Amino acid sequence: MVVGAGTMGAGIAFVAAQNGHRVVLVDALPAGLERGRMLVAEMAGAAEKRGLLDSAERTSLEARIRYAGTPIGADAATIIIEAIVEDADAKADLVRTVSAQMGPRTIFASNTSSLSVNALAHHCADSARFAGLHFFNPVPAMKLVEIIPAPTTSPATVEMLVRLVEAWRKVPVVARDVPGFIVNNVARPYYGEAFAALGEGIEPETIDALMTGAGGFRMGPLALADLIGHDINYAVARSIHSERQGLARFRPSPEQAELVENGLLGRKSGRGLYDYVSPRPVAAE
Ligand code: NAI
């Protein structure tokens, strides 16, 4: 079961289904479910186009995912992965209510990017079966998955998660429960410096071209922030900044706050630093 049918939840559900698992993809909003369905269809279409599956396999992959407005069947799930908004209260609430329904062997994992896994584990009906399981965007393409045990997480839970990640043909890395774990700790200043350059009047295209061209990065930091979604990226920045006691290099960017305030969330809203709607996506390739 995957709760939250957004960018990450849909990606995780897709990868699970691609590897033969039946999935219930849950979202509280009908529009969220609709978006999840669309994202899964897009990922399946892209996989078919790349020859990774034929049309019959695509049909059966899509049929392995059921969509639901509530977490019905949580007791029968092998694993529940939550991928809702990056908000400590919302996640705590969800962990509490959904874990109350989980079966005696169900594992509960959170895809949080920045929140304390230990704090979330306290809300789980069985904190020995709770851990962080942090995927990267886009989920079908990104190999690394961070597994973050809380002090209460049992070794058997960690072992199960390692096996699951490997079965999904990804690379598990067990990380410590520190703000940002491994990757977001390193990546925060990467976004921060790019936003600072933007604030100094440098065009996003120039910053991204520099990092992809001279830096050799697959994507520039601003195109990547558009892909992640500025609402999520900004929430993660604020959370890590606060958990790191206001350390300057983790300071959230005012430029990003402004994008969020103006609803320019990136690809998911059709516009962020680049335009994905009209006349054609500028930074799509
Ligand atoms: P998103 O904004 O694309 O999707 C969130 C979904 O959760 C929405 O469809 C919303 O309707 C749904 N939702 C909110 N509250 C809910 C509830 N109580 N019950 C059920 N559904 C609910 O968010 P995104 O980008 O998929 O992020 C989700 C999580 O994954 C966050 O914790 C984020 O930090 C983490 N993450 C995000 C990455 C990214 O690149 N966007 C990368 C890695 C982790």
Domain boundaries, the chain: 2-174, 188-269
- pLDDT score, position 280: 53
- pLDDT score, position 22: 98
- pLDDT score, position 124: 98
DSSP category for residue 249:
G
Are 241 and 251 in contact by the 8 Å Cβ rule? The answer is yes
Distance 272 CA to ligand 1 centre (A): 18
Pocket test for ligand 1, best of 35, 98, 113 (most atoms within 8 A of CB): 113
- pLDDT score, position 263: 98
Q: Tell whether ligand 1 has an atom less than 6 A from the beta carbon of residue 116.
A: no
Pocket test for ligand 1, best of 7, 101, 133, 184 (most atoms within 8 A of CB): 7
DSSP category for residue 266:
B
Q: Tell whether ligand 1 has an atom less than 6 A from the beta carbon of residue 88.
A: no
- pLDDT score, position 11: 98
Pocket test for ligand 1, best of 85, 137, 228 (most atoms within 8 A of CB): 85
Q: Tell whether ligand 1 has an atom less than 6 A from the beta carbon of residue 8.
A: yes
Residue 208 to residue 249: CA distance in whole angstroms: 20
Nearest CA to ligand 1 atom 43: 136
Task: Tell which CATH classification among 1.10.1040.50, 1.50.10.20, 3.30.2320.30, 3.30.70.20 matches the domain 188-269.
Answer: 1.10.1040.50
Residue 172 to residue 94: CA distance in whole angstroms: 25
Are 234 and 260 in contact by the 8 Å Cβ rule? The answer is yes
Residue (of 21, 11, 83) closest to 47 by Cα position: 11
pTM: 0.94
- pLDDT score, position 282: 52
Distance 232 CA to ligand 1 centre (A): 8
Q: Which residues of the chain have pLDDT under 50?
A: 284-285
Q: Does domain 2-174 bear CATH number 3.30.70.260?
A: no
Are 152 and 174 in contact by the 8 Å Cβ rule? The answer is no
**Which tens digit of pLDDT belongs to each residue from 137-182?**
999 999 999 999 999 999 999 999 999 999 999 999 999 999 999 9
- Give the other-Cβ count within 10 Å of 61's Cβ: 21
* CA 74, chain centre distance (Å): 21
Backbone phi and psi for residue 21, each to the nearest 5 degrees, phi listed first: -85, 145
- pLDDT score, position 172: 98
- pLDDT score, position 285: 41
Please identify every residue annotated as catalytic. 113, 134, 146, 184
Atom index in ligand 1 nearest the CA of residue 135 equals 43
| Complex prediction ipTM | 0.99
Nearest CA to ligand 1 atom 2: 6
